[in-house]
Amino acid sequence: MSPYLFAYLGAAILVLSGLALTRKNPVHAVLYMIVMFFHLAVMYLGLGAEFLAAVQIIVYAGAILVLFLFVIMVLNIKEEMEAERFSVGWPFGIAISSGLFLLVILVTGNVVPGKQGAYTPAAVAAQTNTKLVGTLLYTQYVFPFEVASLILLVAVVGAIVLAKKKLK
Amino acid sequence: MDLLYNVFFRPQIFSPLVQVLIILLKALIVVGVLMLHVTYATYFERKSIGHMQVRLGPMRVGPHGLLQPIADFIKLFFKEDIIPANADKPIFFIAPAISIFAGMTAISVIPFFNGFVVANINIGLLFILAMSSLNAYGVVLAGWASNSKYSFLGGLRSSAQVISYEIAMGLSLVGVMMMAGSLNLSKIVQAQQRFPGGFFWPQALGFFVFMVAAFAETNRTPFDLPEAESELVAGYFTEYSGMRFALFYVAEYIGMIVMSLVGITCFLGGWNGPFAIPYVPFAWLFIKLYLFIFLFYWIRATLPRYRYDQLMTLGWKLLIPLALLNIIGTGLVKMLLH
């Protein structure tokens, strides 16, 4: 990825996240988040992860944020807009997160780049990203994959139990 | 002639700047052809539904009303643009643009004939799913920003409907991905050459699920609940007028054309036909497209609207299990053959 593109995407993601946090109107906040997700998708594209980019848009922008909007629209927007934007403990939260950020900056000086593995950009391009992700997911990483789907299944069952009016 | 051939089929021999210009040129051609089709799709709809209901449809402007779409466009262009008093203005303005942008961007990955595609990308099919899910935002935001109860209910209905049917649509296309072994739409078309009639016969179940989901995604009858005129005036675009209304109208037709083109490329062999038509490589694609569009109108004239709970039951309890069954079946057959 060209450094200029990265600089633009990084800056835009930061600004958009800030805007999403500070908007009084929750619908506007969600909209800034959608635009932010699109920038993130372009970032994945630049790194050669095209499957991830598409999934980022389909799952996050296409499904999860529509559900967000759905819930927010049913809220009383006027009440929401008058409510205090941040809870009482916000300076505390900022202190913790800036501490973590400082830690990351301090550590970045000592990072040693790892050895190049089998999946170089050329090797990925030869097989296409999607095929490679699929193959690895169903061979080498099949156990973690199944565990993740089991966890999701538990969540689905939980949602059905909550939504069902009468349990026999 | 050689230059023209190189421009369209071997753009990689030019410098990067010229390549960008070539892509722009291709996009311009596609948008021009698309808009022409949208214009006359409205005429075609009014005429075919008119004749199905034993009336003539538009007859006054031009011979057999052929200039009617142009008259409609001029009228909409010069109409007063009314914005409701308490509407959320920026979102109200941007909503129709999102709808039309999502539809037009999806067209860019469709191959019109061998080698002619604006963006030949490896994740073509996923890209189309992403753009069609983006389409929901235009509708939902229009409904919310209008500050009107009818619009709002239309927007809510639409978001629930689109989320439900998107799953079925994505799953119905998995069978095609498995058989073609690729997400690139050009490669999917090429993979279908081995089968007479494309993936239509081996993927008949997937095609059925896809078609039903496509009707729901484009908010067409029998799933046009977001704009049910008898209960919601015009649903999410009740408060829109003039040009902005026209944008939504155009977006609906573009959505129909996109869904038809996806169906044709994934199930009916794309630009290939039973025999090659000389000099017009895109002829079969367009013939199939017109048949598909006619199917949309035919069903609109035939079926009544679903009730909302029936719509949800159909989507979750029938289409999704059917699509999953199709995936399992395709996988088993593939395993047995290898």
Which residues, other chains included, contact B298 with Cβ-Cβ below 8 Å and sequence gap of 6+?
B48, B52
**pLDDT, averaged across chain B:** 84
- A67·B163 Cβ contact <8 A: yes
- A57·B134 Cβ contact <8 A: yes
Higher local confidence (pLDDT), B5 or B286:
B286
A1-83 has which fold? Four Helix Bundle (Hemerythrin (Met), subunit A) (1.20.120)
B113 strand-pairing partners: B116
- B123·A130 Cβ contact <8 A: yes
Q: What kind and span of H or E run contains B37?
A: helix B16-52
Report d(CA A58, CA A160) in Å as an integer.
24
Listed by start position, the domains of chain A span 1-83
For A126, name the nearest residue in chain B, comparing CA atoms only. B122
Mutation choice for A interface testing from B137, B186, B217 by most A CBs within 10 A: B137
Q: For chains A and B, count residue pairs whose Cβ atoms are closer than 8 Å.
A: 72
- The pair of structure tokens assigned to B11 is 């753009």
A75 touches B at CB < 8 Å: no
Q: What ipTM was predicted for this assembly? A: 0.80
For residue range B216-260, what is the model confidence (pLDDT) as tens digits? Answer: 888 887 887 767 667 777 777 777 877 888 888 888 899 899 999
| Cis ω before B222 (30° cut-off from 0) | yes
A58 touches B at CB < 8 Å: yes
CA distances to A1, A150, B151, B187 from A145, in Å: 29, 9, 42, 29
B114 touches A at CB < 8 Å: no
- The pair of structure tokens assigned to B246 is 């026209």
- B137·A34 Cβ contact <8 A: yes
Q: Is the pTM of this model over 0.90?
A: no
B128 touches A at CB < 8 Å: no
For residue range B145-162, what is the model confidence (pLDDT) as tens digits? Answer: 888 888 888 888 887 888
For residue range A81-137, what is the model confidence (pLDDT) as tens digits? Answer: 777 767 778 888 889 999 999 999 888 878 888 888 777 777 777 777 888 888 888
B160 contacts in chain A (CB < 8 Å): 70
- B133·A57 Cβ contact <8 A: yes
Q: Answer whether B157's CB lies under 8 Å from B308's CB.
A: yes
B144 contacts in chain A (CB < 8 Å): 27, 69, 73
For residue range B305-334, what is the model confidence (pLDDT) as tens digits? Answer: 888 888 888 888 899 999 999 999 998 988
Report d(CA B230, CA B241) in Å as an integer.
19
- B123·A70 Cβ contact <8 A: no
- A62·B121 Cβ contact <8 A: no
